[in-house]
A and B are shown apart, each in its own frame.
Chain A
Amino acid sequence: MNKLIMGRYLPGDSLIYQLDPRGKFLLTFYFVGIVFLANNVASYVFLMAFVLFAVYLSKISFGFFIKGLQPIFWLILFTVLLQLFFTPSSHPIWQWGFLTLSKEGMVIASYIFVRFVLIIFISTLLTLTTTPIEISDSIESILKPLKKVNFPVTQVALMLSIALRFVPLLVDETTKIMDAQRARGVDFGEGGLIKRIKSFVPILIPLFVSSFSIAYDLAIAMESRGYKDGEGRSKYRVLKWSMRDNVTVLVMAAVTIILLFIRSY
């Protein structure tokens, strides 16, 4: 669990950190969208250069981004190999049974690979430079228009920020309970399927029980501190949109225009 880099926040201070999280959040999704517009070598090189520039601006060691690829390494490899050997072509370089290796296949496979890398790098960049609480604040602020259709935005935002806050705690608790049960002679990941599933009961039950008691304690603590419901509360963390966020939006617009140009070129 601890090996996961994507989704983890890394304390730091650089231009990317200072950006408004709402902008960062939306622009990241926007970027993931426009990645699919790229259709030739030049456009992919351009997007890659842009992402690497953003990574450079974040002042975070490049190793973290490579590490972020690791969990889905096999998925990438699988998809790339599928594209590589199953793209039909009239001029195959090499053919054996249903496997075809062709120039087109290689090009499409490398596109897919670059797409994966781009999407993972940019989303790793978002999560490394934005605290979970900033992300949940942004989601609340982005969802605000939905209040008009009676969508419980503040409640959802509260649930989200509590959930995010308790993810690391529950991970710690899980590790602790696993260690305690191991010390009592449980072997995780050994034996047949049924035995393996059964060996998770001694983790799941204590984990649920402690979640219940955490929820109960937290609710009491919130009530005793005067929490009634989401309505009519003031905000401690106020998100500020500044000049550099405008610049970022402009940069992203420029990237889109250049991309559209390269694409049709």
Chain B
Amino acid sequence: MEITFEHVTHSYDANSPVANLGLDDVSLKIDDKKFTAIVGQTGSGKSTLVRHINALLKPTSGKLTVGDRVITPETNNKNLKPLRKKVGMVFQFPESQLFEETVEKDIMFGPMNFGFSEAQAKDAAHKMIELVGLSKDYLQKSPFDLSGGQMRRVAIAGVLASDPETIILDEPTAGLDPVGRHEIMDLFKGLQAQGRTIILITHNMDDVANYADEMAVMSQGKLVASGLPTDVFNDQKLLTDELLTLPQSAQFAQALAQKYFQFDKLPITIDELSTEIKQQVNGD
């Protein structure tokens, strides 16, 4: 689904003495079937931005279009289910949303709310549990007996089970071990290959470099940059202004560039970096 923000402003506690601006005139287009990463410092409005996409928050002014739905300040809270079925949202530490007696029931909860039949929901639960890397034995366990990482996977399965077209991920790998992180990130990349739109909020620049097609940088409620990750990471002034770090490959390339090596554009992934090094070493 294509998602377009047009001059979206969101103010928390609007019209009260403690009002504060969460989003300030954001215009952004998120392409269909692309993997878009949103970065920015803590409190820059990333989470506020993505909560608009399934109308958990509504703009104070401006409008946004999600597929064929238009969300304006006047949009009312009725009939949002079709939108929320299409936009799956994995919150930070999603393990805190588990509540059912068994893992199976918890995964079925979302699909059942969105009008799946019990058989369909059960079927989805059985598929999803394996997709997130757990065996079917876990389906009959209580979610509260699982480890933190397993709970995270169950929570993600619960969101994916409703078969959303767009998946929003708010730091899905925070607090996971390195192996778990790569598994989960590869899972999302795989879902993109099936034709879904992925939006990822992250502080991990390596994930941005390795997985994202597009990136957007937020700062103090404003969108300060958007485009290809290569272009954004090559904008030295932006990086300094927004206190963004480079992906590790780019940091290494930067160190190499001080001696012998020259890069037209900093390579941001290991593959790009090794190709560049190979070319330059053989070229000499």
A187 CA / B91 CA spacing, docked (Å)? 18
Verify B99–A180 contact, CB threshold 8 A. Answer: no
Nearest 6 CB-CB pairings of A with B: A185-B113, A205-B99, A184-B110, A180-B97, A183-B89, A63-B17
Chain A nearest CB, measured from B168 CB (Å): 9
Between-chain CB contacts (< 8 Å), 9 pairs: A5-B18, A67-B16, A67-B17, A183-B54, A184-B109, A185-B85, A185-B113, A206-B97, A209-B99
Verify B91–A179 contact, CB threshold 8 A. Answer: yes
Within 8 A of B (CB), among A1-30: 2-3, 5
User: Chain B: which residue is nearest A184 at the CB level?
Assistant: B110
- Report chain B residues within 8 Å CB of A224: none
User: Chain A: which residue is nearest B54 at the CB level?
Assistant: A183
A182 interface hit (Cβ, 8 Å): yes
- Report chain B residues within 8 Å CB of A67: 16-17
A64 CA / B16 CA spacing, docked (Å)? 8
A182 CA / B56 CA spacing, docked (Å)? 8
- Report chain B residues within 8 Å CB of A205: 99
A202 interface hit (Cβ, 8 Å): yes
Verify A183–B88 contact, CB threshold 8 A. Answer: yes
Verify B56–A179 contact, CB threshold 8 A. Answer: yes
B263 interface hit (Cβ, 8 Å): no
Given contacts A179-B56, A184-B113, A184-B159, whether A2 and B97 have CB atoms under 8 Å apart is no
Within 8 A of B (CB), among A32-75: 61, 63-64, 67
A186 CA / B158 CA spacing, docked (Å)? 13
- With beta carbons under 8 angstroms apart, the residue of B16, B89, B159, B162 that contacts A3 is B16
Within 8 A of A (CB), among B90-110: 91-92, 94, 96-99, 109-110
Within 8 A of A (CB), among B26-50: none
A5 CA / B159 CA spacing, docked (Å)? 35
Verify A180–B13 contact, CB threshold 8 A. Answer: no
User: Chain B: which residue is nearest A209 at the CB level?
Assistant: B144
Given contacts A2-B13, A180-B91, whether A185 and B97 have CB atoms under 8 Å apart is no
- With beta carbons under 8 angstroms apart, the residue of A5, A181, A185 that contacts B162 is A185
Q: Which applies to chain B's interface (DSSP): helix, strand, loop or mixed?
A: mixed
A89 interface hit (Cβ, 8 Å): no
- With beta carbons under 8 angstroms apart, the residue of A2, A201, A202 that contacts B12 is A2
Verify B88–A3 contact, CB threshold 8 A. Answer: no
A173 interface hit (Cβ, 8 Å): yes
A210 interface hit (Cβ, 8 Å): yes
Within 8 A of B (CB), among A160-204: 173, 176-177, 179-187, 201-202
B84 interface hit (Cβ, 8 Å): yes
Give the number of chain B interface residues (Cβ < 8 Å). 29
User: Chain A: which residue is nearest B99 at the CB level?
Assistant: A205
- Report chain B residues within 8 Å CB of A3: 13, 16
A5 CA / B110 CA spacing, docked (Å)? 35
Given contacts A2-B12, A176-B91, whether A183 and B96 have CB atoms under 8 Å apart is no
Given contacts A201-B99, A202-B109, A206-B99, whether A183 and B91 have CB atoms under 8 Å apart is yes
B261 interface hit (Cβ, 8 Å): no
A209 CA / B81 CA spacing, docked (Å)? 27
- Report chain A residues within 8 Å CB of B144: 209
Verify B17–A185 contact, CB threshold 8 A. Answer: no
Verify A185–B114 contact, CB threshold 8 A. Answer: yes
A200 CA / B96 CA spacing, docked (Å)? 15
Interface string of B150-171 (1 = CB under 8 A from A): 0000000011001000000000
Chain B nearest CB, measured from A262 CB (Å): 33
User: Chain A: which residue is nearest B81 at the CB level?
Assistant: A185
Verify A176–B110 contact, CB threshold 8 A. Answer: no
- Report chain B residues within 8 Å CB of A181: 97
Chain A nearest CB, measured from B99 CB (Å): 4
- Report chain B residues within 8 Å CB of A186: 113
- Report chain A residues within 8 Å CB of B97: 177, 180-181, 184, 202, 206
Most buried by A among B87, B110, B114: B110
User: Chain A: which residue is nearest B91 at the CB level?
Assistant: A180
Chain B nearest CB, measured from A6 CB (Å): 13
B51 interface hit (Cβ, 8 Å): yes
Verify A182–B94 contact, CB threshold 8 A. Answer: no
Given contacts A185-B85, A206-B97, whether A64 and B110 have CB atoms under 8 Å apart is no
- Report chain B residues within 8 Å CB of A64: 17
- Report chain A residues within 8 Å CB of B109: 184, 202
A63 CA / B17 CA spacing, docked (Å)? 7
A96 CA / B65 CA spacing, docked (Å)? 56
Given contacts A185-B85, A185-B162, whether A210 and B96 have CB atoms under 8 Å apart is yes
A116 CA / B24 CA spacing, docked (Å)? 39
Known contacts A64-B17, A180-B97; 4 additional CB pairs below 8 A are: A5-B17, A63-B16, A184-B162, A202-B109
A182 CA / B88 CA spacing, docked (Å)? 11
